[in-house]
Amino acid sequence: MKTKKTIVNVVSKMIFLSFLTLFFVKCDDFTADTEGELLPGNIFNSKTAVERAVLGVYSPLADKLFSNSEAYTHLWAADDRTAVTGANKAEFLEYDQLIPTDINTKMERTWALLWEMVGAANTVIDATEEIKEVFKKEGDEAGSARSLGEVHYLRAMAYYELVRTWGEIPLLSSQKEVTGLEPLASFQDIYNLIIADLIFAKEGLGNNSIKGVYRANKWMAQSLLANVYLTTAGFPLKNTANYALAAAEAKEVIDVGVYNLEAEFSGIMGDPENNLGKSGNTEAIIAFPANKIIDGWDAGNYQAEAIAFGDKTVEFGFFDNFPAGVRKDFTFNGGADGARPKYSKFGPAWAGGPAFDDDILYMRYAELLLIYAEAQIQATGDNTDAAALAALNKVKVRAGLPEVASATATDVVWEKAWETAGEFSRWYDIVRTETLDEVNALRDTRDNDLTPLGSKLTEANPWALIPANDVADNPNLKK
Amino acid sequence: MIKNLNLSVKLTPIHKLSLKMKLTFILVFLSLLNIEAESIYSQNTKFTLDLKNVTVEEVFNQIKNNSEFKILHATDEIDLQRLVTISVKRQRVEMILKQLFSATPIIYKIVDKQIVLSLQKESSIPTVSKKVETVDHVIAVQNTVTGTVSDANGPLPGVNVVIQGTTTGTTTDFDGNYSIAADKGNVLVFSFIGMATKSVTVGDSNTVNVVLAENADSLDEVVVIGYGKSVKKSDLTGAVSMVGAKDIEKTPLINVDQALQGRASGVSLTQASGAPGAGYKIRVRGANSITGNNDPLVVVDGLIDVGMNSVNPSDIQSISVLKDASSTAIYGNRGANGVIIITTKKGSEGKSTLEFGSYLSFSSPTNKMDLLSPAEFIEFANTKNVGAGEGLIGAFDTQEKIDNLIANSVDYQDALYRDGAVAQNYQLSFRGGSEKISYFVSGNYLDQEGLAINTDFKRYAMRANINADISDKLSIVSSVNLQRTKGLNNHARFGERLGIGGVGFYNVVPMLDANGNYNTSTQFLGDDVASVLVNPVFLAKESKLESIGDRVQTNLSLNYKLTEKFTVNVNGGINNAKFLGVDYNPAGSGIKSPARARHGSVNRTRWQYALKLAYDNTFNEKHNLSLTAIAENRGEQQREFNATGVGFFTNLEAYNLGTADTQTIGSSFSTRQLRSVIGRAIYNYDSKYLVTASVRHDQTSVFPKNQRAVFSAFALGWNINNEAFFNSETISLLRLRAGWGQTGNEKVASDAAIDLLRNNPWIPNGGDVGIPTVLPGRRLANPDLKWETTVQTNIGFDLGIINNKFNLSFEYYIKSTEDLLLDRILPRFTGKERQMTNVGTVENKGFDISFSGTPIRTDDFSWDFNVNFSKNKNEITQLFGGQDIIFPGIRFGGSNELAPSVIKVGESIGAFYGLVYEGVDAATGNAIYADERQIIGNPNPDFTYGINNTVTYKGVDLNFFIQGVQGNDIFNATRSQLMGRAGGIPSGTSAELRNTWTATNTSASLPSLNATNTKLLTSEFVEDGSFLRLKNISLGYTLKDSNALKSIGGESLRFYISGQNLITLTDYSGIDPEISTGKGFDGTFNDAAAGVDVGAYPISKTFTLGLNFKF
């Protein structure tokens, strides 16, 4: 009995104490669940931290942003690409047939990744003063110019892709006051930011990439700037004065002599041994390493034509007009018996393995030579400009074609179509030179029968559709 | 006493038994054992009363209010207004009754927790003689029939015994004995309140012993309403569905959720996958949240937020589903999705019971898809390639190659699925108790083979529920539940891959290559036709995805009686779950993928403690008041660690990740807390006017600023049948109910409101190891995030007809969820992806009807039925800032296809949006679509229903249960893939392709194989998902009072044979209409992605043999 009483007594006290604890002690606010999380705030507090943030801006590039068949379906609107029939290629076909939708998920993804780069870059640029302080403290003032230069270069690249693809888009130069309701900016404003960023970058960046050959250096910024100037000289801005600026920028890079055409096409791409990071491919100016841990299907999608069921084949008309020679043999497989040829330039089928290990070449020296040749001819109005022809002929000679003594800008654009077939430039060249109708007129009936053209995309309105969700969220984006 | 389970004792009687019995015993020893039992309530409550000159009724009220006893009157002749004086100190109820009635003709009996009072009609035998003389003077008395009436617990006093068609009758005495003058051929009718009436024809024997069964439809059934409170069904004001052990026992269950399917109105359960051990998607009155969690809250014996399937189904005493806000509001947090309260079995004083049960089941797929034959497949693939201008496919360009492929073709559906996958379940339980301590202990082992080869689910469980009275005032209730589950290759997504592989992997690909290795992919056929699918047999056999879950759930509750009216309760519980996933995916389990292995662990602990003060009293005899105040704290901590290795030079599987070529690791921690103060009042006036009200103050750690919120609810009920003016022969019950309430929801990720940076590796040097980098987070912060509130109004009525032989309940509700916790998709140009916001409103409206009855109940034969019908309409009434539509971009399956599901104002969550398909252009073979996209389907059903019937004849019972869903649409993405339309499967395998447009068959219903304009997100793939299914049919035989049984100490033995999913009526063309997807590895369902078929693991058709043995 005594034990029982004791127990009862103890329990009564426990109950009383519990009351007290529950009601009177614990009435404060709970703290947030942030353990183990990276919190924003003053993260730019050391050189290492800045370095991590700068690399962060690069990181969307490793996320299949420039992969050939997972992202850029609008490039299928050009003549160097077509998709085989069947709805399993629906998202490619809608651009191939010039009838895009605003729910193309591959385009949505690309749109999002590019803006992710812009957002990341803006976050770093917003902290420009803090970053300068940090580098100053650590006695490395050139370091801050270099780090900020990389970020400005990456922001310019993202905006350049966005404006060439979607046309007028919002323009965010800071991440501080983003409302989600920003209006569309003008082409002029967008390109002004791109050009300003690249000028800032080329001045701050050094001649050599720091800690990794894929990172920005002065020549990469300048080559990109040359292309930007060339683009702004054409549709839609038509600032023809910029042809000369394009030629000047390109010339500077050519003259510095760090880049050269590879003697053989096989030295350019398709073989991991020729990766920029391995044997120092002399032709790669801007390249992205595709050796993120991706495997199987995903790896194949980086350069889809390189493996089974590529989403990219070539239109018959383009193939037939392609000048014969070593370049054509390198670029395509088959086509002789009337069956549709396939791209072979990107290398052999991926055999499988832990990581796809290849470069994605965004800009090659050959393309820079042709940018120069075209800009120089346009700027001088001289079809026999020696410097321009020298650049053009370098490309032709390697392709096994005879040198020419005279060339129009149009000739150079076609040379570029063949040289960079299946790469990233053809559609943008068609847009800026307003030649969509001409190019379509060259289409073969076999292609017209299989993938007849619609008319949602035109010379005057060649822009990809801004994803439906963004428009639904921000009616200002309605065009 | 627990009987000795001696093998020799059990085996002895086999020779004497019939074939049936022999089979039963063979089953026992073949399959070993599993168990169950009924509850006996403690009769140990002790009373201290000191009442002077009070009415008998007042004494009764004191008994009722201070115990779980209920008082039943078998007669109206008991004078409740008689004044008595009574004084007892800590005595059992018998002493009170003895004092009250010792000098009266009233006899009492305590049955379970019912006190039964009846009038002793003088002494039995003389009375009968007298009556015979006066009434039955025409018929000479030839016979006196005697016997004993009892129920499951022993002799039953006060039972009315009447000869059918006459007024001759008597009642049983205190020992349940009766004696009546009756002839051979007369029918004796035995009736007693709360018991099913029984009729027996007098035969040659003069002894008629009768056992009465409890009436299942009794209004005195108790309904568990949460936080330790039960109310009589007749005093219930809210909308609550009950499923009792009796309903559950008729079907062999793998998991608890199966028990609810089709049995509770307003509750929809969908079997999303046939993978072994897979859970169901449960929705109570529709989905409230667009992007949030809509799973109901599960409470097991007071432990809040427990995984439903962490309870062994055989341990369940009852399941209550609280549906309306007046009921759920007390649970606040996530109560808006409904609350499922599971009560497990308890021990009781008295006879110890040992029970074991076992079942053995054999399953095969419900359906097999009709596919193209190998020859047809080749023909169609070639036709398509030629049409695309690419000539014959290399692998199919000579007859010799074709013949060879056909000869080596494989029916992958047959190769993948077992015909007769075996599940075995064994259950053993002990229960009993002494005056002070009662116990229920059970153990369970389940091994369920999946339909697909090399898939399996195992469960090992043990539960101990122990209750003890430490003193008269202090008692302890404790429970411990231990469980280990082991799954092999039973992930839902893995199941989807197998499912689509079984029907989509080309049958012309031989199982093995020339070297005897698996053809892992269709690459064997060359680039032209190769698909993204992986050989499903290889995938199933060579993958090893193990998941091991260990759960420890403990709960301890102390009850202390401060006074007769005040009770204090302190309770605490810990629910710890450790999940270990060890996966090994061999090289080739993705196209060209290297071997990949993962080791991941999650350790989650939920804790809770609460202090509860309860006050129960009756004033002036008629005012019954019950007040509860609760202070409660709950919290959760979760730690995760995972490591992945890709590329192995040697096959070491997942237990040596260090040998991998590339290795990644990750870890995380999260925590959340909820602190609440809750009050509840339940009042009724004379069981006529009922009022329930509750208020709850919550504080959560999830929201930075707006942590606190108050939610309230109330409900009214009116038992019209208890009114004096109500006088109906037919209508025995009429009650009106109405309730209104708010429930809060904070079930978003614990860091949902905060802007966090993230890391993402980048490899600028081309090296193999990524450098962690810092990126802005994808989520925009929302410091103003606050509680989501669901407001629900419920009105209903209950109707009982002819002594509640038939019961009808009807409820209508409107549920509106405001300040919706919506994971808003931001315009991506902001650089951010999502923001958790409080925007939008979702409304659910509908009604639940439940109709049950016992049309026939005679001595030997009875028929019970229960029909339920639920209709719910879900509608999004408002979105962010006047936005009209959101494309959530949900993707599925191996080929990563997009779902047509959208969020659109005026439509249901997850409605399908796309182009209307208008057929085939006969001239070109192209498809024709309407110009504009529009709503093309709704995955939510118009209504669902369940029909449950139990027929018993003597020892035989037959149960059949039909479940139906009507008016839902399914987007059959599998169909588009199998027709070669969707990404990654360029050549179709579907038999439907026979109906493809060709130049010679221009009236065909499917577009040409080379149509250039076909789209995926169109109405062409939207199908009616309605179905009616014979969910369960079982035939059982129960043996009781058999000498053979007694000789081995047995009390009863039931053995049964049952079949599940035997018949399905549907127009749906896919593998199974009961399909839903969007279930991630985290186990939650995404309602925005409901009704999309992406290749499910098939549901099984099952035959089961089982037995339950009680000692």
Query: What is the per-residue pLDDT across B411-438, written as a single tens digit (0 to 9) for each?
Result: 999 999 998 899 999 999 999 888 889 9
Chain B CA closest to residue A288? B764
Look up residue B951 and give its amino acid: V
* Position B401 pLDDT exceeds 80: yes
Residue to mutate among B774, B898, B934, with most A CBs inside 10 A, is B774
Whether the CB-CB separation of B825 and B888 falls below 8 Å is answered with yes
Residues in B touching A31 (Cβ below 8 Å):
701
User: Under an 8 A CB cutoff, do B764 and A11 touch?
Assistant: no
Closest residue in B to A292 (Cα–Cα): B763
pLDDT of residue B129: 32
Q: Are B525 and A303 in contact (CB under 8 A)?
A: no
Which of B558, B591, B754 lies at the smallest CB-CB distance from A296? B591
Interface of B with A in 578-617 (CB under 8 A): 587-588, 590-594, 596, 609, 611
Task: Compute the distance between CA of residue A172 and CA of residue B830 in angstroms, rounded to an integer.
Answer: 8
Please identify among residues 249-308 of chain B the ones whose CB lies closer than 8 Å to any CB of chain A.
none
| Residues A476, A479: Cα–Cα separation, whole Å | 8
Is residue B125 very low, low, confident or very high in pLDDT (cuts 50, 70, 90)? Answer: very low
What residues form DSSP beta bridges with B822?
Answer: B837
Of B419, B277, B627, which is closest to residue B1101 (Cα–Cα)?
A: B419
Give dist(CA B831, CA A178) in Å, integer: 9
Tokens of B360: 């053995």
- pLDDT of A357 over the 70 cut: no
- Measured between CB atoms, does B436 come within 8 Å of chain A? no
- Cα B966 from Cα B1029, distance rounded (Å): 11
Mean pLDDT lowest among A424-438, B162-176, B459-473: B162-176
Of the listed ranges A41-45, B8-12, B225-229, B574-578, the one predicted with least confidence: B8-12
Its ipTM equals 0.88
- Give per-residue pLDDT as tens, A182-196: 999 999 999 999 999
Evaluate whether B315 touches B425 at the Cβ level (below 8 Å): no
pLDDT tens readout for residues B526-556 = 777 888 889 999 999 999 999 999 999 999 9
* More reliable by pLDDT, B859 or B1019: B1019
B880: pLDDT strictly greater than 90: no
* Stretch among A63-72, A101-110, A404-413, B109-118 having the lowest mean pLDDT: B109-118
What's the confidence (pLDDT) of residue B126?
Answer: 34
On average, the pLDDT of chain B sits at 82
What CA–CA distance (Å, rounded) separates A294 from B828?
24
Instruction: Check if A351 contacts B (Cβ < 8 Å).
Output: yes
Tell me which chain A residue has its CA closest to the CA of residue B708: A29
Least confident range of B63-67, B977-981, B1003-1007: B63-67
A–B CB contacts, 8 A cutoff, strictly below? 315
Report the alpha-carbon distance of residue B988 to residue B372 in Å, rounded.
8
Identify the closest residue of chain A to B832 by CA–CA distance. Answer: A116
Interval B1004-1020 mean pLDDT = 88
Mutation test of the interface with chain B: which of A16, A38, A59, A70, choosing the one with the most B Cβ atoms within 10 A? A59
CB-CB under 8 Å, A56 with B388: no
Strands B1052-1066 and B689-700: unpaired
The reply to whether A175 touches chain B by the CB within 8 Å rule is: yes
Chain A interface mutation, best of B1012, B1017, B1021, highest count of A Cβ atoms under 10 Å: B1012
Give the residue from chain B lying closest to A53, CA to CA: B774
Name the residue with higher pLDDT: B34 or A274: A274
The CA angle B904-B905-B909, to the nearest 5 degrees, is 55
Judged against a pLDDT cut of 60, whether residue A312 lies above it is answered with yes
Give dist(CA B212, CA B666) in Å, integer.
63
CA B101 and chain centroid, separation? 47
CB-based contact A289:B764 (threshold 8 Å): yes
Confidence of residue A300 (pLDDT cuts 50, 70, 90): low
Question: A226-235, A350-359, B219-228: which has the minimum mean pLDDT?
Answer: A350-359
CA B107 to chain centre: 43
More confident residue, A28 or A113: A113
CA atoms within 13 A on the CB side of B59: 30
Euclidean distance between CA atoms B647 and B662, whole angstroms: 7
pLDDT score at B542: 93
- A123 at interface of B, judged by CB pairs closer than 8 A: yes
Q: What percent of chain A has pLDDT over 70?
A: 86
Interface of B with A in 87-106 (CB under 8 A): none
Residues from chain A contacting residue B840 (CB–CB below 8 Å): none
For B483-509, the pLDDT digits (tens) are 999 999 988 788 888 888 999 999 999
* Cross-chain residue pair B766–A277, CB shorter than 8 Å: yes
- Closest approach of chain B CAs to the CA of A279, in angstroms? 12
Does position A93 have pLDDT exceeding 90, yes or no? no
Q: Which residues from chain A sit within 8 angstroms of residue B526, using beta carbons?
A: 308
Q: Is the pLDDT of residue B512 over 60?
A: yes
Residue from A155, A126, A132, A319 nearest A228 by CA: A155
Res. B19: pLDDT tops 60 = no
A62:B889 CB<8 A: no
Q: Is the Cβ–Cβ distance between B913 and B900 less than 8 Å?
A: yes
Distance from B257 to chain A by nearest Cα, in Å? 32
- CA distances A391 to A324, A396, A403, A415, B450, Å, are 20, 9, 11, 12, 67
Amino acid at A195: I
A85 contact residues in B (CB cutoff 8 A): 387-388, 1010-1012
Token pair listed for B194: 């709360």
Give the type of residue at A403: E
Q: Give per-residue pLDDT as tens, B144-162.
A: 888 888 876 667 777 788 8
- Is it the case that residue B132 has pLDDT exceeding 50? no
Give the nearest partner residue to A354 out of B473, B662, B699, using CB atoms: B662
Do the Cβ atoms of A354 and B646 come within 8 Å? yes
In tens, the pLDDT along B351-392 reads 788 989 999 999 998 888 999 999 999 999 999 888 877 788
- The answer to whether the beta carbons of residues B315 and B343 sit under 8 Å apart is no
Q: Is B135 on the interface with A (CB under 8 A)?
A: no
pLDDT above 50 (res B942): yes
What's the burial of A336, exposed, middle or buried (CB within 10 Å: 0-12/13-18/19+)? exposed
- Chain A contacts of B528, Cβ < 8 Å? 309
Is the separation of the CB atoms in A450 and A85 below 8 Å?
A: yes
Confidence of residue A406 (pLDDT cuts 50, 70, 90): very high
Return d(Cα B946, Cα B251) in angstroms, integer: 15
**B633 with A120: Cβ contact below 8 A:** no
**Res B216 pLDDT > 60:** no
Show which of residues 257-286 on chain A sit within 8 Å of chain B, judged by CB atoms.
Answer: 275-278
Q: How many CA atoms lie within 13 A of B677 on its CB side?
A: 10
The SS3 assignment for B179 reads: strand
Q: B880 contacts in A (CB within 8 Å)?
A: 473
Structure confidence by residue, pLDDT tens digits, B601-619: 999 999 999 999 999 998 8
Number of other CB atoms surrounding residue A193 within 10 Å? 19
User: What is the model's pLDDT at position B37?
Assistant: 31
The average pLDDT across A66-73 equals 76
User: Which are the contacts of B689, defined by CB distance < 8 A and separation ≥ 6?
Assistant: B716, B717, B718, B719
- A43-47, B286-290, B634-638, range with greatest mean pLDDT: B634-638
Residue B826, chain A, CB below 8 Å: the answer is yes
Distance (Å, whole) CA B664 – CA B968: 43
Contact of B556 with chain A, judged by CB distance below 8 Å, is answered with no
- Which residues of chain A have a CB within 8 Å of the CB of B891? 105
The set of residues, in sequence order, having a beta carbon less than 8 Å from that of A183 and lying 6+ positions away, is A170, A476
Say whether B776 and A120 touch across the interface (CB within 8 A).
Answer: yes
Q: Which residue among A59, A212, A339 places its CB closest to the CB of B760?
A: A59
Which residue of chain B is at minimal alpha-carbon distance from A17?
B611
Q: Centre a 10 Å sphere on the Cβ of residue A280 and count the other Cβ atoms it contains.
A: 10
- Predicted pLDDT at A377: 98
Whether the CB of B700 is below 8 Å from some CB of chain A: the reply is: yes
CB contact under 8 A, B751 and A33: yes
- d(CA A169, CA A456) in angstroms, rounded, equals 19
With an 8 Å Cβ cutoff, are B763 and A291 in contact? yes
Take residue B423 and report the two structure tokens written for it.
């599940």
> What is the 8-class DSSP label of residue A344?
-
- Cβ of B830 within 8 Å of Cβ of A49? The answer is no
Q: A341 CB near a chain B CB, below 8 Å? A: no
Angstroms from A12 CA to nearest CA on chain B: 8
- Could you give the CA distance from residue B693 to residue B687 in angstroms, rounded to a whole number? 16
What is the pLDDT confidence band of residue B217, given thresholds at 50, 70 and 90? Answer: very low
pLDDT(A304) > 70: no
Give the sign of the dihedral formed by CA B887, CA B889, CA B893, CA B895: positive
The helix-helix angle for A141-166 and A187-204 (nearest 10°) equals 150
- Beta-carbon separation of A111 and B751 below 8 A: no
Which pTM does this prediction carry? 0.79
Which phi and psi angles does B520 have, rounded to 5°? -70, -30
> What is the distance between the alpha carbons of residues A26 and A19, in angstroms, rounded to a whole number?
11
**What pLDDT does A433 receive?**
97
Alpha-carbon torsion (B1002, B1007, B1008, B1011), positive or negative: positive
Contact B990, B979 (CB under 8 A): yes
B585 closest CA partner among B538, B525, B521, B516: B538
> Using a CB-CB distance cutoff of 8 angstroms, which residues of chain A are in contact with residue B596?
295
State the burial class of residue B658 (Cβ atoms within 10 Å of its Cβ: 0-12, 13-18, 19+): exposed
